[in-house]
A and B are shown apart, each in its own frame.
Chain A
Amino acid sequence: MKAAVIVFPGSNCDRDCKVALERSVNARVEMVWHQEADLPAGLDLVVLPGGFAYGDYLRCGAMAALSPVMAGVRKAAARGVAVAGICNGFQVLCEAGLLPGALLRNAGLKYVCTHVDLEIVNIQTRFTSAFGARRSAVMTVGNGEGNFFADEATLDRLEGEGQVVFRYRKNPNGSARDIAGIVDEAGNVLGLMPHPDRAFETALGSSDGAMVFQSVMQSVMATA
Chain B
Amino acid sequence: MKAVVHVFLKPGVLDVQGKAVESALNGLGFSGVSNVRVGRAITLDFAGSDVPAAKTEVETMCERLLANPVIESYRVEVDT
Contact = CB atoms under 8 A, between A and B. Distances in A.
B13 A149 contact: yes
A58 interface: yes
B36 interface: no
B68 A174 contact: no
Interface size class of B (residues with CB under 8 A): 10 to 19
Interface in A68-106: 94-95, 100-102, 104-106
B20 A95 contact: no
A62 interface: yes
Contact of B66 (A58, A101, A105, A174): A58
Nearest to A105: B16
A147 B14 contact: yes
B17 interface: yes
A66 interface: yes
B66 to A, nearest CB: 7
B17 A104 contact: no
Interface in A92-150: 94-95, 100-102, 104-109, 147, 149-150
Interface in A38-57: none
B65 interface: yes
Given A105-B17, A107-B16, 15 more contacts: A58-B66, A62-B65, A62-B68, A66-B65, A95-B68, A100-B70, A102-B68, A102-B71, A104-B14, A104-B71, A105-B16, A109-B20, A149-B14, A149-B71, A151-B70
Give the 5 A-B CB pairs with smallest separation, nearest first.
A102-B70, A102-B71, A105-B16, A109-B16, A102-B68
